[in-house]
């Protein structure tokens, strides 16, 4: 972005704010032709007063228009900004289904189109492209809500199912980006919609999103209890089958319960739950992606390492990585899972004072999924720790990544 002419940067931010050239020109008090010439580079922007007015209308810092960044985050465009947060909040605050109860619903989006859009959003998340996803979320939320409100009869359950998935996608990415209150709201909505979709497994996955948000908000005890309650109801055996979907959802509930227990410092419960998930994974046989869980034997070990980090036992996390995670199986996982694990490893190495390897894990994670490292608050904390404890000047690659992250060297 920095190397673009200033007119192209203005066009980029105008497009990101969903302003037409005419609307943008009207707000500036200029003609549409003037805006077009600026964006094409025909007309120069050499007055700071005009630049500041443009920055004000586009709700960005003027340094961004000049190809600089006030926070030294050269890749800031990969992360969410407050305008997008407000757009997502506005979409989450809609109550289309209640409006449809009183008035005829508008023509809803076709379910075939919604299925494709939801699958694309899941893959965008699992490939760690968070900036792309957050920019698409407001429209996806509105479309899914309209579909849920507008379809009835045989199609109502599928529409609710799709909306529940969209809420879960929103919750997952918002939690990663530190927007915990919105993550909880989206997850809570997903649980309610899952009941209308009449899919217990969708409700089980919705439970993990709620509990993740609760842990992020400092509420691990109720998160642990809720995960275990729903896991017990969905457990394979008895009247419940043992198909791959159920095994995956059940196993993920146990793993998320283990993460909540780790936040509480309850080592015994962590071990019990991870081992229970391991048994479910062995029945499944391999890492799969039923209900978008990425659940399987390798992912269980990733959570074993992550729980060790939460317990403050970085050495144990490194041991799990080296002794229990086979590199070929690890490399088959989707980028978000791998980059997330490398971030956990960076935290583990930092806990045992190995800042060189901690930095290396951040670099590896950044190569896999830059947004997982550059946009997550926890990654910024790790990088700050690495820089603070590095003797002398940090290695050039670490310094460069820190620059991209906006973390002071």
Does a structural domain hold residue 358?
Answer: yes
Residues 138 and 119 in one domain: yes
Does a structural domain hold residue 71?
Answer: no
Per-residue pLDDT averaged across 266-294, rounded? 97
pLDDT in tens, 26-68: 888 899 999 999 888 888 887 777 887 888 788 777 777 777 6
Does a structural domain hold residue 206?
Answer: no
Per-residue pLDDT averaged across 153-170, rounded? 94
Does a structural domain hold residue 406?
Answer: yes
Does a structural domain hold residue 133?
Answer: yes
Written in H, E and C, the secondary structure of the chain is CCCCCHHHHHHHHHHHCCCCHHHHHHHHCCCHHHHHHHHHCCCCCCCHHHHHHHHHHHCCCHHHHCCCCCCCCCCHHHCCCHHHHHHHHHHHCCCHHHHHHHCCCCCCCCHHHHHHHHHHHHHHHHCCCHHHHHHHHHHHHHHHHHHHHHCCHHHHHHHHHHHHHHHHHHHHHHHHCCCHHHHHHHHHHHHHHHHHHCCHHHHHHHHHHHHHHHHHCCCHHHHHHHHHHHHHHHCCECCECCCHHHHHHHHHHHHHHHHHHHHHCCHHHHHHHHHHHHHHHHHHCCCCCHHHCCCCHHHHHHHHHHHHHHCCCHHHHHHHHHHHCCHHHHHCCCHHHHHHHHHHHHHHHHHCCCHHHHHHHHHHHHHHCHHHHHCCHHHHHHHHHHHHHCCCCCCHHHHHHHHHHCCCC
Counted domains in the chain? 4
Determine the pLDDT at residue 408. 75
Question: pTM of this prediction?
Answer: 0.81
Residue 139 lies in domain: 82-198
Determine the pLDDT at residue 56. 76
Residues 147 and 101 in one domain: yes
Per-residue pLDDT averaged across 141-147, rounded? 92
Does a structural domain hold residue 187?
Answer: yes
Q: 8 pLDDT exceeds 50? A: yes
| Last residue of one domain, picked from the residues 138, 165, 198 | 198
Does a structural domain hold residue 239?
Answer: yes
Q: 99 pLDDT exceeds 70? A: no
Does a structural domain hold residue 59?
Answer: yes
| Last residue of one domain, picked from the residues 291, 314, 333 | 333
Residues 56 and 103 in one domain: no
Residues 128 and 40 in one domain: no
Q: 270 pLDDT exceeds 50? A: yes
């Amino acid at each position: 972005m920095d190397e673009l002419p200033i007119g192209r940067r203005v066009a980029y931010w105008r497009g990101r704010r969903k302003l037409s050239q005419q609307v943008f020109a009207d707000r500036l008090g200029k003609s549409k032709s003037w805006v077009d010439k600026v964006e094409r580079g025909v007309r120069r922007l050499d007055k700071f007063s005009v630049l500041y007015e443009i920055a004000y209308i586009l709700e960005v810092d003027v340094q961004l228009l000049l190809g600089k960044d006030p926070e030294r985050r050269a890749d800031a465009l990969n992360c969410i900004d407050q305008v997008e947060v407000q757009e997502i909040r506005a979409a989450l605050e809609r109550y289309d289904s209640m409006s449809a109860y009183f008035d005829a619903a508008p023509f809803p989006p076709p379910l075939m189109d919604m299925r494709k859009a939801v699958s694309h959003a899941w893959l965008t998340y699992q490939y760690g492209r968070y900036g792309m996803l957050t920019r698409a979320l407001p429209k996806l939320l509105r479309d899914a809500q309209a579909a849920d409100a507008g379809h009835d009869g045989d199609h109502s359950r599928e529409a609710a199912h799709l909306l529940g998935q969209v809420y879960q996608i929103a919750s997952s990415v918002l939690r990663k980006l530190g927007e915990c209150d919105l993550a909880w709201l989206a997850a809570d909505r997903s649980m309610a919609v899952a009941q209308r979709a009449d899919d217990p497994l969708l409700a089980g996955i919705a439970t993990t999103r709620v509990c993740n948000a609760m842990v992020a908000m400092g509420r691990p005890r109720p998160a642990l209890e809720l995960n275990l309650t729903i896991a017990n109801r969905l457990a394979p055996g008895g009247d419940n089958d043992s198909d791959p979907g159920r095994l995956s959802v059940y196993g993920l509930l146990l793993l998320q319960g283990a993460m909540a227990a780790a936040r509480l410092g309850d080592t015994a419960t962590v071990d019990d739950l991870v081992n229970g998930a391991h048994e479910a994974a062995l029945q499944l046989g391999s890492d799969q992606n039923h209900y978008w869980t990425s659940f399987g034997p390798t992912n269980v070990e990733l959570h074993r390492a992550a729980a060790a980090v939460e317990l403050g036992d970085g050495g144990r996390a490194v041991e799990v990585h080296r002794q229990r995670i086979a590199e070929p199986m690890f490399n088959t996982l989707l980028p978000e899972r791998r980059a997330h694990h490398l971030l956990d490893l960076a935290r583990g190495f930092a806990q045992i004072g190995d800042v060189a390897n901690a930095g290396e894990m951040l670099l590896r994670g950044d190569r896999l999924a830059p947004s997982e490292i550059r946009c997550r608050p926890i990654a910024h904390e790790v990088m700050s720790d690495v820089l603070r404890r590095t003797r002398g000047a940090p290695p050039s690659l670490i310094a460069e990544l820190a620059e991209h992250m906006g973390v002071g060297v």
